[in-house]
C-alpha cells in the first residue's frame, strides 16, 4: 500500500536525500552528474545571454542618438517650481531669516548658470518671438547646436541681483517656474509665446493678491525652442518665468496653481497633476 | 465491526416456532395485535433504512476549499493581508486586490468542484424509486395491506412472487418460494425458501428471507425478526460508513507538487532576502521582498486549470455513460492497475439465455448475443422440432401483455429465469409461442418441485382428429434420462442403449463444465386407448405414464457475457490492468464466464487442472506454474492475509467465487497491500464497503442499489464493463494532458518572477506589475492551458502499463526544471529584451535604467532626466512603467503561444502530432483575441490592468525568442526520441 507511507519520511531518509554516503550523491546526484548538468546550464545560459546581448545590440543600433524613437508619453510637458521642498510647500516667516534662508540659497545655486556674464560667453543672442531652428542638412549633422541666452537679469526683481533675498525678506517671495525639456517641442505658433498664469485654487482667491511676472507677461519666449537634446545642444539654457507675490495674505495657507497657456500644447490629463501645470502651497508668516 | 459475529448472535432461525411466538409476543396464525404493533413501532422506529449519514453540504463545500493548492493560495492571501501592515506606501490597495483575487479564485474553483459533486449526486438521486412499498400483513387475524415501513418485529407477513421482501423474515410456511438474493450475496441463482432450518449461519439457512431481496415465485408466510437498520442489509450498509475514504492519487500528486512549489518559493524568497540584505536594504524591506516573492511564486491559474481540465474530462465521460461523482476520480481511474469486477450484470447480461442444445448426438450453439446478431444452428432436423415443442409447451412462463413493439430479448416475462430463457428462445426460433400453446390445449400440469426435479404437462394435439394426448416433461437431465427408454435421433425413435447413455453423459458433463445450467427434455404420445379424451388426469397421484418416455435433447442456459466485455478485458490486459472477478456465484459458472470473457485466458490452467493433467496430487503442483486460480469463499475464509497476498502475486488470473461482502473487502485490501490502485465494481448493498475501500468504486447505474451508488466514486449508467475501460483511457489521457497543462502553466511563473528579482537587485523600474501577472494567470492563459486538455494521446496509451504512482509523478523534477530554468528562462530574456527596447525607444537607455529605481519611484520628482535630456513628471514615468508592464506581458504571451505549441507533445514532434489539426478547434484564438483587445482597449485596461496600448513593433521584439523556444523544444524532443535512455532523455524528458 503506497498510501500514507510516502509522507512519513524519517529523518535518515531526509539526510540521505541531502547526502547519501553510500552512492556519494549530493541532493540525489553524483559529482559527475552535477558537473554535467551544471555544464549544460552554463552553455545554455551563455547562449541565452549571448542572444540577449545580440538583440540588445541590434536594438541599440536602431536608436537615434539625438531623438528618442517615441515621445508619446511627453505630449504635455511637465512644470516645476523653484525653490521647492519635499512637499511643494513654500512656508516661511518674514522675520525669521533662517526660515527662508535655504530658499534663497537654492535659488542662488539654481540661477548661477543664468548669470549674464556666463550666458553672454556661451550662448547666442537670438532674435526673439520665433523658433530658433537649426536643421541638419541631410546626413550632415549641424552639431553642436547653439543655444539662446537666457540672462538672469531678465528676471528683474526676482533675479536676486537688486534684491539678494528674492523678496522673501519683505514677504513678497519670488517663485521660479520652469517647463520640462522635451526634444523637438514647439510650444506655440504664429509668433505667440506660451505664458504662465498663476491663480489661487478655490476659496483662496481673495488671499492671493496681485502678482508680477518676469519676464513680462510670464512668457517662455519661442526662441528657446525647439530643444535638440543634451547631446546636440550641450549648453541649452532652460527658460524660466518668475512669479512674485506682491501682497499675499499672511498667516494663512494659499493653494496656488500655475499653468502654461499655449496655442499648441494639449491640456494635461486629469491624472497628471504636473503636466502643463504645477500646484504648490504658499504660507507667509508675519508677526 | 465484524459482520460474522453479529450474525452468529442471532438464533431466530434455529429456535422453534413456539419459542419464536413467545419471543416476539406474536401468533403464527393471527399475527400481532394492532395495539402491540403500534407500541413496537414506537419503540423500534419505522422499517426503513436510514439514509447514510450524508456529509453536511457546508462540509462538502469546505472540503473543496481545503485542497493542497487551495491551502497554498490561502497562505498567499493571508500574506497579502499582512504585507500592507509593514508597508507605509500606497501599494496597500494593490495587495488587497491580490488577496481578494486569490481568495475568489479559490472560492470560484471550489464552487465548480462542488457543483460537479452536486450534479452527480442529483443524477444518483434520480434513480431512486419513489413508489412506497406495500406489504400484506396479518394483524388481529385480519389480512391488511399496509405501507412496508410500518411493519414491526413480530408481524406476520405474506409474500408472493414479484414482491420485495419487506424485512428479514423467518419463514413459517411456504410453497415453492424462491428468492433472488443477488443484491445481498451476488448469487444469480434463485434460492428456495422453506420453513426448515438448514444451516446455523443465518445467511445460508433456508428459513430466512432477507430484506430487499425479491421473491421470484411461490408464496410464503413468515414472522418478521428484524426491521430497518437492524436487518442484515442495514448492517452491511452501515459497515460501509465505517470504511475510511482514501486519498486519491491525484490529490497525492498535487500535494507533492505543492511541496515542490512551496520549497522553491521559500528557496527563492530566502535567496533574495539574503541578496537584498547584502545590497543594503533595511530588514523590513527585505522581509517584504521575501513575502512578495513567495506570493508571486504561487501559480494562481493552476487551480483553475486543473479543475477545468478534470471537469471537461468528467463531462466527456458522462457522454460515455460514466458519471463521475468526484472530479479527482477521473484521474484515479487512469492509474488503476487492478479492477475487481462483479460478474452478474457487469460482465454478463444478467439474463439467463439458452446457450447450447444437444440433440441428434451433437452440441449445437445457440445465439447468445444481446441483439441476436450471432449465428444460429441448423434447425432442419426432425428432432429439433420435437425438442422445440417440448420446450415450448412444458413452460409456465408468459410474456407480460402489450409488448409487441419490444424486441424479444428485452420483453418482460413472468416466470423464473430458466423458463424465461426457454420462452424467449422458443419465441425466437419457433415464433409466437402463446398462440402455439393455445393450439396444444393444456390438460394438466405438474409443477417443478425439489423432490421430483422435473416438470410435466399433458396437452391435446393440434390436429383435432388425432385424439392422443401428448405428455411433455423437462427437468434435471439425469432424472429425465431415468424415465426414458428411447431417444430421438434424426426424427427416429431409437432404443436408449448403453452407447446413447454414454453420449448423453458426455454431453451433459461438457455442458455442465461450461458452467451452464442443463435441462433435459422428453415427451411421449399417450396411448389413445388407455387415456381417452376426458380422462381424469390427477397431478398429485400421477395416474398416467411417467416412464418409458422418449428423450428429445438437452438445453443448457447461462447468463452470457456482454458482447463488448471480451474486447474490454483484452484492452485491460494490453493496458497492463488485471481484471479480477469477484462473484457470489458458483465456482464452475464463475470460471466458465471468466474463461469466456478472457479473464482466464486460453491455455491458462489452475493448480487443479495441472494436477489432473499430470495425474499428481494437488499438493505437488508448483503453484507458480498455474496462471489461473479460482478461489471460493470457503477457501478464502481459511486463508491468512499473507496467503491471499501470495495467491494474488503468484496467479495473474484470479477468480473469486461464492464470496461474501466481507471477503470482497478483504480482497480489495490485499490488492492495495500489493501496491495496486484498485477499481471495484459493484451493485449490491453488500458491495458498498468494498466500493468505499477501493481507490475508485464503480457502481452500476441500472442495477445498483442506492447504498452502492452512495459509496462509489463513479457510476456506470449502462452497467457495462466496457465503459470502465473507456474511463481508464480517459483517465490516462487526462494525466498526460494535465502534465502538459501544468508544464505550460508553470513556465510563465519564471518570467513573472524575474522582473521582481531584477527590480530588487539591479533597481530598474519595475518591469511587470502584479495586477498584470494576475491578468496573465487568470485570463489570457487559462484558455490555452485548458486547450491542452483536449490534446490527443501521443502514443497508444492503452498499450502502456499503468503508471507506478511512486515513479511516474504528475510533476516531476524534470518537468519543473525544464519549465522553470529553461523555457521560463528564455521567456524572461524575451521579456527583458522587449522591456529594455521599450524603455530605450522612449528615451531610457538600459544602462541608465540600472539603479534608476529610487528616482523613478519618487513621487515628488517631476523632472527626472532621461538619456536624451528630456524631463519626465512622475505620472509620465508611471505611464511609461505601465507601457513596460504591457510590453513584458506581450512578450510572455508571445512566448506562451510558442509554449502551448511545444506542450502539445512531450516526445513526438509537433509536426508528427498534427500541427493544425487541433489548433482550429482550440480556444487559443480566443486568448489571442483577448490579448489583442487587452493591449488595444486603452480606456478599460489603463485602470484595471495597468497596461496601455503599445506600439505594434513591440509585439515583434519577443518573436525570435518564441521561435527559439519552439526550435529548442523540437531539438529536445528529437534527442529524446533518437536516444532513449541517454543522459539527454533522462534530464530533459518530463
Quote the CA–CA distance of B856 and B837 in Å, as a whole number.
18
Residue A213, pLDDT > 90, answer yes
Contacts of B983 in chain A (CB under 8 A): 36
Please write the tens of the pLDDT for every residue from B258-292. 777 778 888 888 888 888 888 877 887 787 777 77
For residue B695, which of A201, A3, A247, A30 has the smallest C-alpha distance?
A3
Q: Which whole number is the average pLDDT over A177-191?
A: 87
Please write the tens of the pLDDT for every residue from B288-327. 777 777 777 777 777 777 877 777 788 888 888 888 877 7
The minimal CB distance from A2 to the residues B675, B825, B846 is found for B675
Query: Is the Cβ pair B869, A183 closer than 8 Å?
Result: yes
Look at strands B484-489 and A253-261 and give their pairing.
unpaired
φ/ψ of residue B214, rounded to 5: -115, 135
Look at strands B653-657 and B413-414 and give their pairing.
unpaired
Q: Between the CA of residue B283 and those of B222, B275, B735, B756, what are the distances in Å?
A: 84, 11, 44, 18
> How far away is chain A from the Cα of B91, in angstroms, using its nearest Cα?
17
CA nearest B942 in A: which residue?
Answer: A271
Highest mean pLDDT among B27-36, B230-239, B977-986: B977-986
Say yes or no: B22 contacts chain A, CB-CB below 8 A: no
What pLDDT does B125 receive?
55
Task: Give the residue numbers of B annotated as catalytic, written as ranges.
Answer: 342
pLDDT: is B251 or A90 the higher one?
A: A90
Q: How confident is the model at residue B921 (pLDDT cuts 50, 70, 90)?
A: very low
Residue B965, pLDDT > 90, answer yes
DSSP for A242-281 reads EEEESSPPBSSEEEEEEEEE-SSSPPPPTT-TTBSEEEEE
> How far away is chain A from the Cα of B842, in angstroms, using its nearest Cα?
5
Quote the CA–CA distance of B733 and B790 in Å, as a whole number.
9
Q: Which helix (H) or strand (E) holds B945?
A: none
DSSP for B336-382 reads --EEEE-STTTTB-SS-EEEEEEETTEEEEPP--TTS-S-------H
* Other Cβ atoms within 10 Å of A46 Cβ, number: 10
Look at strands B338-341 and B678-682 and give their pairing.
parallel
B260, B750, B843, B848, best to mutate vs chain A, most A CBs in 10 Å: B843
Strand partners, B171: B222
Provide CB contacts within 8 A for B151, sequence distance 6+. B47, B135, B137, B157, B166, B167, B224, B227
Q: Which whole number is the average pLDDT over B827-834?
A: 94
Would you tell me the crossing angle of helices B874-902 and B721-747 to the nearest 10 degrees? 140
What pLDDT does B527 receive?
82
What pLDDT does A45 receive?
95
Provide CB contacts within 8 A for B513, sequence distance 6+. B588, B592
Residue % of chain B over a pLDDT of 70 = 88
Strand partners, B917: none
φ/ψ of residue B804, rounded to 5: -85, 115
pLDDT: is B526 or A1 the higher one?
A: B526
Query: Is the Cβ pair A78, B846 closer than 8 Å?
Result: no
Quote the CA–CA distance of B187 and B345 in Å, as a whole number.
11
Q: How confident is the model at residue B828 (pLDDT cuts 50, 70, 90)?
A: very high
* Residue found under cell 448493498: B685
What pLDDT does B233 receive?
73
CA nearest A37 in B: which residue?
Answer: B987
What pLDDT does B229 receive?
76
Q: Which whole number is the average pLDDT over A235-256?
A: 90
Quote the CA–CA distance of B873 and B990 in Å, as a whole number.
49
Mean pLDDT of chain B: 80
Q: Which whole number is the average pLDDT over A2-15?
A: 49
Q: Which whole number is the average pLDDT over A119-129?
A: 87
Say yes or no: B117 contacts chain A, CB-CB below 8 A: no
The answer to whether B897 and B928 are in contact (CB under 8 A) is yes
Q: Which of residues 125-144 of A touch B (CB under 8 A)?
A: none
3-state secondary structure B871-905: EECHHHHHHHHHHHHHHHHHHHHHHHHHHHHHCCC
Say yes or no: B872 contacts chain A, CB-CB below 8 A: yes
* Residue found under cell 490485499: B670
Residue A216, pLDDT > 80, answer yes
Please write the tens of the pLDDT for every residue from B333-369. 888 899 998 887 778 887 888 888 998 888 888 887 7
Contacts of A4 in chain B (CB under 8 A): 247
The answer to whether B931 and B890 are in contact (CB under 8 A) is yes
Say yes or no: B953 contacts chain A, CB-CB below 8 A: no
What pLDDT does B675 receive?
86
3-class SS at A124? strand
Say yes or no: B960 contacts chain A, CB-CB below 8 A: yes
> How far away is chain B from the Cα of A156, in angstroms, using its nearest Cα?
25
DSSP for B121-190 reads HHHHHTTS--SPPEEEEEETTEEEEEEGGG--TT-EEEEETTPBP-SEEEEEEEEEEEEE-HHHH---S-
> How far away is chain A from the Cα of B885, in angstroms, using its nearest Cα?
15
For residue B424, which of B392, B393, B402 has the smallest C-alpha distance?
B392
Sign of CA dihedral B480, B486, B487, B491: negative
Q: Which whole number is the average pLDDT over B928-947?
A: 43
The answer to whether B297 and B261 are in contact (CB under 8 A) is yes
Query: Is the Cβ pair B843, A68 closer than 8 Å?
Result: yes
The answer to whether B862 and B870 are in contact (CB under 8 A) is no
> How far away is chain B from the Cα of A287, in angstroms, using its nearest Cα?
31
For residue B813, which of B250, B261, B72, B303 has the smallest C-alpha distance?
B261
Q: Between the CA of residue B225 and those of A20, B132, B183, B207, B553, what are the distances in Å?
A: 66, 21, 20, 12, 45
Strand partners, B553: B521
| Strand runs labelled E in B803-928 | 864-865, 871-872
CA-based max dimension of chain A: 96
Say yes or no: B641 contacts chain A, CB-CB below 8 A: no
Please write the tens of the pLDDT for every residue from B767-818. 887 777 777 777 777 777 777 777 778 777 888 888 877 777 788 888 888 9
Residue B929, pLDDT > 50, answer no
Would you tell me the crossing angle of helices A31-62 and B824-842 to the nearest 10 degrees? 20
> How far away is chain A from the Cα of B860, in angstroms, using its nearest Cα?
7
The minimal CB distance from A74 to the residues B867, B876, B983 is found for B876
Query: Is the Cβ pair B836, A69 closer than 8 Å?
Result: no
3-class SS at A139? coil
The minimal CB distance from B869 to the residues A7, A181, A273 is found for A181
3-class SS at B426? helix
Sign of CA dihedral B310, B311, B312, B315: positive
What pLDDT does B866 receive?
92
What pLDDT does B302 receive?
77
- Angle at Cα A35 formed by Cα A31 and Cα A39, nearest 5°? 170
A27, A59, A62, A277, best to mutate vs chain B, most B CBs in 10 Å: A59
A13, A27, A78, A236, best to mutate vs chain B, most B CBs in 10 Å: A78
Residue B203, pLDDT > 90, answer no
Quote the CA–CA distance of B559 and B585 in Å, as a whole number.
11
Please write the tens of the pLDDT for every residue from B383-439. 888 888 898 888 888 888 777 778 887 788 877 788 888 888 888 888 788 888 888
Say yes or no: A225 contacts chain B, CB-CB below 8 A: no
Say yes or no: A46 contacts chain B, CB-CB below 8 A: no
Say yes or no: B873 contacts chain A, CB-CB below 8 A: yes
Residue B124, pLDDT > 80, answer no
What pLDDT does A27 receive?
74
Q: Between the CA of residue B673 and those of A10, B246, B809, B873, what are the distances in Å?
A: 21, 13, 20, 70
CA nearest B838 in A: which residue?
Answer: A70
What pLDDT does B239 receive?
64
ipTM of the complex as predicted: 0.90
Query: Is the Cβ pair A78, B873 closer than 8 Å?
Result: yes
Residue B586 burial (CB < 10 Å; 0-12/13-18/19+)?
A: middle
Quote the CA–CA distance of B727 and B568 in Å, as a whole number.
11
- How many interchain CB pairs under 8 A, A with B? 133
Residue A7, pLDDT > 70, answer no
CA nearest B875 in A: which residue?
Answer: A272
Alpha carbons within 13 A on the beta-carbon side of B962:
17
Q: Which of residues 170-209 of A touch B (CB under 8 A)?
A: 178, 180-183
- Residue B148 C-alpha cell reads as 412496508
Residue B947, pLDDT > 70, answer no
Say yes or no: B846 contacts chain A, CB-CB below 8 A: yes
| Strand runs labelled E in B197-241 | 208-209, 214-226
Q: Between the CA of residue A204 and those of A199, A253, A285, B39, what are the distances in Å?
A: 9, 8, 16, 92
Please write the tens of the pLDDT for every residue from A27-59. 777 888 889 999 999 999 999 999 999 999 999
CA-based max dimension of chain B: 135
Amino acid at each position: 500500500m503506497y498510501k500514507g507511507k510516502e509522507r512519513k519520511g524519517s529523518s535518515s531518509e531526509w539526510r540521505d536525500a541531502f547526502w547519501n554516503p553510500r552512492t556519494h550523491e549530493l541532493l540525489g546526484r553524483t559529482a559527475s552528474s552535477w558537473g554535467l548538468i551544471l555544464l549544460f546550464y552554463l552553455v545554455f545560459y551563455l547562449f541565452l545571454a549571448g542572444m540577449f546581448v545580440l538583440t540588445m545590440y541590434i536594438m541599440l543600433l536602431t536608436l537615434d542618438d539625438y531623438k528618442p524613437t517615441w515621445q508619446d508619453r511627453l505630449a504635455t510637458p511637465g512644470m516645476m517650481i523653484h525653490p521647492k521642498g519635499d512637499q511643494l510647500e513654500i512656508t516661511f516667516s518674514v522675520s525669521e531669516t533662517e526660515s527662508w534662508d535655504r530658499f534663497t540659497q537654492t535659488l542662488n545655486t539654481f540661477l548661477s548658470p543664468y548669470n549674464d556674464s556666463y550666458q553672454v560667453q556661451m550662448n547666442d543672442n537670438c532674435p526673439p518671438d520665433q523658433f530658433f531652428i537649426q536643421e541638419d542638412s541631410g546626413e550632415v549633422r549641424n552639431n553642436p547646436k547653439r543655444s539662446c541666452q537666457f540672462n538672469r537679469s531678465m528676471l528683474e526683481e526676482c533675479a536676486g541681483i537688486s534684491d539678494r533675498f528674492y523678496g522673501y525678506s519683505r514677504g513678497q517671495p519670488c517663485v521660479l517656474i520652469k517647463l520640462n525639456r522635451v526634444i523637438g517641442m514647439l510650444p506655440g505658433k504664429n509668433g505667440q509665446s506660451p505664458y504662465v498664469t498663476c491663480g489661487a485654487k478655490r476659496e483662496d482667491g481673495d488671499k492671493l493678491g496681485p502678482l508680477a511676472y518676469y519676464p513680462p507677461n510670464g512668457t517662455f519666449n519661442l526662441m528657446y525652442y525647439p530643444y535638440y537634446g543634451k547631446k546636440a545642444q550641450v549648453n541649452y539654457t532652460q527658460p524660466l518665468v518668475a512669479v512674485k507675490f506682491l501682497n499675499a495674505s499672511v498667516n494663512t495657507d494659499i493653494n496656488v496653481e500655475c499653468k502654461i497657456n499655449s496655442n499648441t500644447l494639449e491640456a494635461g490629463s486629469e491624472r497628471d497633476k504636473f503636466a502643463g501645470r504645477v500646484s504648490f502651497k504658499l504660507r507667509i508668516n508675519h508677526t | 465491526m465484524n459482520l460474522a459475529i453479529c450474525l452468529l448472535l442471532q438464533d431466530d432461525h434455529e429456535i422453534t416456532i413456539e419459542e419464536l411466538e413467545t419471543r416476539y409476543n406474536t401468533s403464527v396464525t393471527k399475527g400481532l395485535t394492532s395495539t402491540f404493533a403500534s407500541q413496537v413501532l414506537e419503540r423500534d422506529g419505522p422499517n426503513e433504512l436510514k439514509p447514510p449519514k450524508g456529509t453536511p453540504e457546508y462540509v462538502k463545500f469546505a472540503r473543496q476549499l481545503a485542497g493542497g493548492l487551495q491551502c497554498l493560495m490561502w497562505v498567499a492571501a493571508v500574506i497579502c493581508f499582512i504585507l500592507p501592515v509593514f508597508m507605509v506606501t500606497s501599494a496597500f490597495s494593490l495587495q488587497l486586490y491580490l488577496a481578494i483575487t486569490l481568495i475568489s479564485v479559490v472560492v470560484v474553483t471550489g464552487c465548480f468542484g462542488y457543483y460537479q459533486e452536486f450534479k452527480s449526486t442529483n443524477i444518483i438521486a434520480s434513480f431512486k424509486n419513489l413508489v412506497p412499498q406495500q406489504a400484506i400483513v396479518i394483524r388481529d387475524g385480519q389480512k391488511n395491506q399496509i405501507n412496508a415501513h410500518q411493519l414491526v418485529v413480530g408481524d406476520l407477513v405474506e409474500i408472493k412472487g414479484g414482491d420485495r421482501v419487506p424485512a428479514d423474515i423467518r419463514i413459517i410456511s411456504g410453497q415453492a418460494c424462491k428468492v433472488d438474493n443477488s443484491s445481498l450475496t451476488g448469487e444469480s441463482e434463485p434460492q428456495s425458501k422453506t420453513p426448515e432450518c438448514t444451516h446455523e449461519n443465518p445467511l445460508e439457512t433456508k428459513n430466512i428471507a432477507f430484506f430487499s431481496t425479491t421473491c421470484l415465485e411461490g408464496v410464503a408466510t413468515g414472522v418478521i425478526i428484524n426491521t430497518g437498520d437492524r436487518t442484515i442489509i442495514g448492517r452491511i450498509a452501515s459497515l460501509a460508513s465505517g470504511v475510511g475514504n482514501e486519498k486519491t492519487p491525484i490529490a497525492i500528486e498535487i500535494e507533492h507538487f505543492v511541496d515542490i512549489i512551496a520549497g522553491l518559493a521559500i528557496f527563492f524568497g530566502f535567496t533574495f532576502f539574503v541578496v537584498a540584505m547584502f545590497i543594503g536594504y533595511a530588514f523590513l524591506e527585505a522581509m517584504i521582498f521575501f513575502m512578495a516573492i513567495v506570493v508571486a511564486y504561487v501559480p494562481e491559474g493552476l487551480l483553475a486549470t486543473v479543475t477545468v481540465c478534470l471537469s471537461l474530462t468528467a463531462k466527456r465521460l458522462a457522454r460515455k455513460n460514466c458519471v463521475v461523482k468526484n472530479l479527482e476520480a477521473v484521474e484515479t481511474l487512469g492509474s488503476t492497475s487492478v479492477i475487481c469486477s462483479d460478474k452478474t450484470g457487469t460482465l454478463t447480461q444478467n439474463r439467463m439465455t439458452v446457450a447450447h442444445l444437444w440433440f441428434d448426438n451433437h452440441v449445437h450453439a445457440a445465439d447468445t448475443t444481446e441483439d441476436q446478431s450471432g449465428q444460429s444452428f441448423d434447425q432442419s432436423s426432425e428432432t429439433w422440432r420435437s425438442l422445440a415443442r417440448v420446450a415450448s409447451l412444458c413452460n409456465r412462463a408468459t410474456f407480460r401483455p402489450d409488448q409487441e413493439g419490444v424486441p424479444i430479448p428485452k420483453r418482460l416475462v413472468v416466470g423464473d429465469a430458466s423458463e424465461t430463457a426457454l420462452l424467449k428462445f422458443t419465441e425466437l426460433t419457433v415464433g409466437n409461442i402463446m398462440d402455439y400453446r393455445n393450439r396444444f390445449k393444456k390438460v394438466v400440469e405438474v409443477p417443478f418441485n425439489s423432490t421430483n426435479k422435473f416438470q410435466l404437462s399433458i396437452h391435446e394435439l393440434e390436429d383435432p382428429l388425432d385424439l392422443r394426448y401428448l405428455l411433455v416433461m423437462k427437468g434435471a437431465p439425469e432424472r429425465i434420462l431415468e424415465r426414458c427408454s428411447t431417444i430421438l435421433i434424426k426424427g427416429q425413435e431409437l432404443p436408449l442403449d448403453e452407447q446413447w447413455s454414454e453420449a448423453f453423459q458426455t454431453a451433459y458433463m461438457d455442458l455442465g463444465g461450461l458452467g451452464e445450467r442443463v435441462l433435459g427434455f422428453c415427451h411421449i404420445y399417450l396411448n389413445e386407448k388407455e387415456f381417452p379424451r376426458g380422462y381424469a388426469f390427477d397431478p398429485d397421484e400421477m395416474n398416467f405414464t411417467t416412464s418409458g418416455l422418449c428423450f428429445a435433447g438437452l438445453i443448457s442456459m447461462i447468463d452470457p457475457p456482454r458482447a463488448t466485455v471480451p474486447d474490454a478485458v483484452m484492452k485491460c490486459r494490453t493496458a497492463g490492468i488485471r481484471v479480477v472477478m469477484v462473484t457470489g456465484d458458483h465456482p464452475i459458472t464463475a470460471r466458465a464466464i471468466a474463461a469466456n470473457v478472457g479473464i482466464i485466458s486460453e491455455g491458462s490452467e489452475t493448480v487443479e487442472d495441472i494436477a489432473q493433467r499430470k495425474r499428481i496430487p494437488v499438493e505437488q503442483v508448483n503453484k507458480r506454474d498455474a496462471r489461473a486460480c479460482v478461489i471460493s469463499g470457503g477457501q478464502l475464509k481459511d486463508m491468512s492475509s499473507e496467503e491471499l497476498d501470495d495467491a494474488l502475486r503468484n496467479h495473474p488470473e484470479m477468480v473469486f467465487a461464492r464470496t461474501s461482502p466481507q471477503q470482497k473487502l478483504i480482497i480489495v485490501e490485499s490488492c492495495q497491500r500489493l501496491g495496486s490502485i484498485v477499481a471495484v465494481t459493484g451493485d449490491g448493498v453488500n458491495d458498498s464497503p468494498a466500493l468505499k475501500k477501493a481507490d475508485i468504486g464503480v457502481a452500476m447505474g441500472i442495477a445498483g442499489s442506492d447504498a452502492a451508488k452512495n459509496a462509489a466514486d463513479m457510476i456506470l449508467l449502462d452497467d457495462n464493463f466496457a465503459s470502465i475501460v473507456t474511463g481508464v483511457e480517459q483517465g490516462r489521457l487526462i494525466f498526460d494532458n494535465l502534465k502538459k497543462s501544468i508544464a505550460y502553466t508553470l513556465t510563465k511563473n519564471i518570467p513573472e518572477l524575474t522582473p521582481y528579482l531584477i527590480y530588487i537587485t539591479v533597481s530598474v523600474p519595475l518591469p511587470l506589475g502584479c495586477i498584470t501577472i494576475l491578468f496573465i494567470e487568470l485570463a489570457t492563459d487559462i484558455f490555452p492551458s485548458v486547450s491542452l486538455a483536449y490534446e490527443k494521446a501521443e502514443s497508444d496509451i492503452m498499450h502502456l502499463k499503468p503508471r507506478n504512482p511512486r515513479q511516474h509523478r504528475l510533476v516531476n523534477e524534470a518537468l519543473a526544471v525544464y519549465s522553470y530554468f529553461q523555457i521560463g528562462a528564455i521567456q524572461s530574456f524575451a521579456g527583458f529584451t522587449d522591456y529594455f527596447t521599450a524603455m530605450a525607444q522612449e528615451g531610457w537607455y538600459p544602462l541608465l535604467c540600472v539603479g534608476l529605481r529610487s528616482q523613478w519611484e519618487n513621487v515628488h520628482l517631476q523632472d527626472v532626466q532621461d538619456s536624451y535630456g528630456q524631463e519626465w513628471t512622475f505620472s509620465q514615468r508611471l505611464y511609461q512603467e505601465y507601457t513596460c508592464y504591457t510590453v513584458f506581458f506581450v512578450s510572455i504571451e508571445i512566448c506562451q503561444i510558442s509554449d502551448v505549441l511545444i506542450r502539445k507533445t512531450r516526445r513526438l514532434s509537433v509536426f508528427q502530432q498534427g500541427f493544425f489539426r487541433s489548433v482550429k478547434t482550440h480556444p487559443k484564438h480566443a486568448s489571442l483575441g483577448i490579448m489583442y483587445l487587452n493591449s488595444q482597449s486603452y480606456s478599460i485596461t489603463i485602470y484595471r490592468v495597468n497596461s496601455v496600448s503599445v506600439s505594434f513593433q513591440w509585439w515583434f521584439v519577443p518573436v525570435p525568442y518564441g521561435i527559439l523556444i519552439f526550435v529548442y523544444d523540437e531539438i529536445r524532443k528529437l534527442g529524446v526520441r533518437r536516444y532513449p535512455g541517454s543522459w539527454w532523455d533522462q534530464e530533459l524528458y518530463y
